[in-house]
Amino acid sequence: MTKQNSSRSLIRGFLESAERFPDRTALVVDGESLTYSSLRRLAGRIASAIAENGHTRSPLVAVWAHRSQTAYAGILGSLGAGKGYVPLNPKFPLERTCRMLALAGCTVLIVGRECLGQLSGLLGSADFPLTLILPEVFDLGEFLPSRPNHRFITAGQLPSGESFSSGEDSASASAYLLFTSGSTGVPKGVPINQGNVRSYVDYICRRYDVNEHDRFSQQFDLTFDLSAHDLFVCWERGACLYCVPEHSLMAPAKFIRDHQVTMWFSVPSVAGLLEKMRLLPPGCFPSLRCSLFCGEPLPAAYAASWQEAAPNSIVDNLYGPTEATIAITHYRWNSQKSPGECLNGIVPIGQMFEGQQFRITDSRGESVPIGEVGELCLSGSQVAAGYWNDPAKTRQQFVRLPGARERIWYRTGDLVQRDEAGNLCYLGRVDHQIKIRGYRVELQEIEAVLRHACGTEQVVSVPWPVNSGTAEGVVAFVSGVKGFDQARILANCGDVLPDYMVPKKIYLLDELPLNSNQKIDRGELRKLLLEGALA
Ligand code: AMP
């Protein structure tokens, strides 16, 4: 890839498509279609509003919006003003959102109409002045009493001219900051720069030959980095983005057919659910030409059913952590060959993207011989430089490896093995990170909240139920809690954790079982759950 290309900004990709295809549809959301020129106009006015409030030195603008025009135009507007974006999710508890806003240090916040009901609460917790841009709200009167500390720019006050920052394209400029579950109990920020995403977008556009006739699904919440694939790969080539409405998220079969989607991207759990609901009959998705899965192990059975349902489509398993920008390995499903290449019924994660590097290491960081299990370490233009304002955590995960000290390696915590065909196969984790419907969850983060809510150190959480290797939720075990009140504890958890992290049930035991190392025996607890021995 040329140097010039690696520093080409994401907004440049969108603007060039808008130049080439002004009248093609760029976005379908909430029952409305926006052409490239109308989306560009809205994004340009938001970019102007950010620029006119240029007192912010922060490289980031927060976007608090969900499946609305404001969400997408807000992201483009932030990038158009030369800022990275920080997606915030109205489905998350307000306390978590406020924390992310403060950690990111944003002073400009773009707000969707769908968040207005929570706005007063957010401003009540923000102890620093904010500029709020509300592109779809004309009158704030009914939502807010006067807030002299903060500045509001409503739809009628948006500048009429569109302006996009003519700032230098630069690979090191911020693209986005995402927060993932943190083992210390505080969400962990992963800053991704323009160069990281540029490498990804260029590679994917070439691999899948994306063009202006493609119709992309937009299934992921914007707080999940896989959404960046949908937006930036789609707009890079003048294609159309179809935002899946909330009510179709877990059963999007009709949506795919109604919109004749050509490019599908989701976590495997969605395929599992469709299969369970018998919504994946052979040949039901003739429009699809690319079906991509990522975010959690892909069971072979799901890949096989999806391939039959989408006979004109390739089916690829992508793998990657947020720290390595969306995905960094791929494996193409082949109905004849692949069943024999799966390990434990799970599809291999395959080969590295061209130009990215990997090592499989033991606990000392030494490379293990081919065929042995070790931790996957990643390096290359897609890999972040470290965590947001967290040098200790950065030093722990972004390391130099013996024999490969010239570059920084990101230790993924994923256990893999290379098979004879050269494919990487995913085997599990070195730690207590799990996936729930594709969402990354550190069990320690749940346990930190439980400890606080229960007033005891004796807490542990276990993924449950687990189907085809994928967790559908967690349950917790506690002991030594005075006046155990499950409803109150769960309510406390719900105040700070997103719903998928809140335990489905809490069991009070006399004591937690210990293994021979005097550690809590999670295996024993799983056995109790399996045996149905708990009330
Ligand atoms: P996230 O940062 O939320 O994208 O989560 C990254 C983690 O999800 C990885 O470190 C893996 O543990 C898991 N993961 C992502 N894709 C796959 C896949 N295709 N197969 C198995 N695990 C995956």
Q: Cis omega (within 30 of 0) on the bond before 465?
A: yes
Residue 270: closest CA among 225, 219, 229: 219
Query: Residue 421 Cα, ligand 1 centroid: separation in angstroms?
Result: 22
Residue 214: closest CA among 306, 320, 313, 298: 313
Contacts of 519 (CB under 8 A, 6+ apart): none
Taking the chain (535 residues) in consecutive chunks of 10 residues, what is each chunk's mean pLDDT?
Answer: 68 97 97 97 97 81 98 98 97 95 96 94 88 92 74 94 79 96 88 98 98 98 97 98 93 95 96 93 98 96 97 98 98 98 96 98 95 97 97 97 94 96 95 92 95 94 88 95 94 95 96 88 93 82
Asked if 221 and 227 count as a contact pair (C-beta separation under 8 A), the reply is yes
Query: Residue 516 Cα, ligand 1 centroid: separation in angstroms?
Result: 31
What's the chain's Rg over C-alpha atoms? 23
SS3 257: helix
State the helix-helix crossing angle for 36-52 and 69-80, rounded to 10 degrees: 60
CB-based burial label for 456 (10 Å; 0-12, 13-18, 19+): middle
Alpha-carbon gap, residue 162 to 11, rounded angstroms: 14
- Write a three-state SS string for 441-472: EEHHHHHHHHHHHHCCCCEEEEECCEECCEEC
**H or E, element range at 3:** helix 3-6
Query: Residue 427 Cα, ligand 1 centroid: separation in angstroms?
Result: 11
Q: Which residues line ligand 1 (CB under 6 A)?
A: 180, 225, 294-298, 317, 319, 321-322, 349, 412, 414, 426, 435, 440
Residue whose CA is at the smallest distance from ligand 1 atom 9:
321
| Beta strand ranges found along 131-214 (DSSP E) | 131-134, 151-154, 174-180, 188-193
Q: Which atom of ligand 1 is nearest to the CA of 293?
A: 19
pLDDT at residue 165 in the model: 84
DSSP state of 16: H
Alpha-carbon gap, residue 480 to 486, rounded angstroms: 13
Query: Residue 497 Cα, ligand 1 centroid: separation in angstroms?
Result: 20
Contacts of 506 (CB under 8 A, 6+ apart): 450, 475, 476, 477, 478, 486, 489, 490
Residue whose CA is at the smallest distance from ligand 1 atom 5:
321
pLDDT at residue 163 in the model: 87
Asked if 194 and 385 count as a contact pair (C-beta separation under 8 A), the reply is no
Q: pTM for this structure?
A: 0.94
State the helix-helix crossing angle for 194-208 and 226-236, rounded to 10 degrees: 70
Query: Residue 470 Cα, ligand 1 centroid: separation in angstroms?
Result: 12
pLDDT at residue 1 in the model: 43
Beta-ladder partners of 179: 189
pLDDT at residue 143 in the model: 63
Residue whose CA is at the smallest distance from ligand 1 atom 22:
296
Residue whose CA is at the smallest distance from ligand 1 atom 20:
297
Contacts of 366 (CB under 8 A, 6+ apart): 402, 403
Domains of the chain: 32-191 (3.40.50.12780), 244-429 (3.40.50.12780), 438-531 (3.30.300.30)
Tell me which of 176, 188, 296 to substitute to probe ligand 1's pocket, judged by most ligand atoms within 8 Å of the beta carbon.
296
Q: How many CA atoms lie within 13 A of 485 on its CB side?
A: 8
Q: Which two tokens stand for residue 302?
A: 């799901």
Query: Residue 387 Cα, ligand 1 centroid: separation in angstroms?
Result: 18
Tell me the helices (H) and strands (E) count for the chain, helix number first: 16, 28
Could you tell me whether strands 131-134 and 108-111 are parallel, antiparallel, or unpaired per DSSP bridges? Answer: parallel
Residue whose CA is at the smallest distance from ligand 1 atom 1:
321
Query: Residue 140 Cα, ligand 1 centroid: separation in angstroms?
Result: 41
- Write a three-state SS string for 302-354: HHHHHHHHCCCCEEEEEECCHHHCCCCEEEECCCCCHHHHCECCECCCEEECC
